[in-house]
Amino acid sequence: MTRVTPIIQARTGSTRLPGKVMYPLDGLPALEHVITRTAHADSVNNVVVATSTESQDDVIAQYAPTFGADVIRGSESDVLSRFEYAVGQYDPEFILRVTGDCPLISPQFIDASIERVRTTDVDYVCAGLNRTFPRGITCEAFTAESFERVIEQSSEPRHSEHVTPYYRENPEDFELYNLESNELFEEEWLQNRTDLRLTLDEPADYQLLETVYRELTYKEILDIRDAIRHIDQNGLAEVNHDVEQKSV
């Protein structure tokens, strides 16, 4: 069996929205939604939450296992080292980098990205080279072999903090692939939806996500199609339209 390990990076020390990964959505912490949705992907084996050793993140270490994830802890600022430790512990063939502030991450995107990296010579799959998806529903997939090279060669602070910039900064050394929305969604109204922001960084983001989760009924996980349809029908995209995305 192909070993696929999603590593969800999560901490409570966000500068813009402290504690956001534990904010409630439909009565459950945002992080629990991230874990459940990630585990819902067919390609995934075990789910790992990588948090820090800071006391403020004890809450994550305590509750993530009850949400169905393993936990590893390490440096708060050197997230790359947390990933390195997790890879050493679980020995995956393929790795997913998931952020804990994406409570609408798409299991379908996860499976599509793993399928691409598993069946081709691609080293790294993302949606950010030419963004056509809403922010907050995608992740990054890469081979463990290529990630070993990233670990060895990454040297800048941004590499330690954000884990994967080295791939994108050195396209001559890796085979990169950008997954686009028309590969995942046949419906035109779901394609090129860069107007939507479904990540959790600011109070306005929480207002949007809390509204969507409160107003929709679902089983197991909220379907991304239902979420986007509800946002469109009720003009909810305006709630966080002016939030600026933090750059690497």
Domain residue spans of the chain: 4-240
**Which residue is listed with tokens 């081709």?**
120
Task: List, in sequence order, the alpha helices (H) in 18-154.
Answer: 30-39, 58-63, 79-90, 107-119, 144-153
pLDDT tens-place values along the chain, 248 residues long: 679 999 999 999 988 899 999 999 999 999 999 999 999 999 999 999 999 999 999 999 999 999 999 999 999 999 999 999 999 999 999 999 999 999 999 999 999 999 999 999 999 999 999 999 999 999 999 999 999 999 999 999 999 999 999 999 999 999 999 999 999 999 999 999 999 999 999 999 999 999 999 999 999 999 999 999 999 999 999 999 999 877 66
Task: Specify the DSSP class assigned to residue 188.
Answer: G
Task: Specify the DSSP class assigned to residue 190.
Answer: G
Q: Which fold has domain 4-240?
A: Spore Coat Polysaccharide Biosynthesis Protein SpsA; Chain A (3.90.550)
- pTM as predicted: 0.96
72-to-49, 51, 111, 144, 170 alpha-carbon distances in Å: 6, 6, 24, 18, 29
**Angle of helix 203-215 versus helix 224-233 axis, rounded to 10:** 110
The SS3 assignment for 71 reads strand
Gyration radius of the chain's alpha carbons: 17
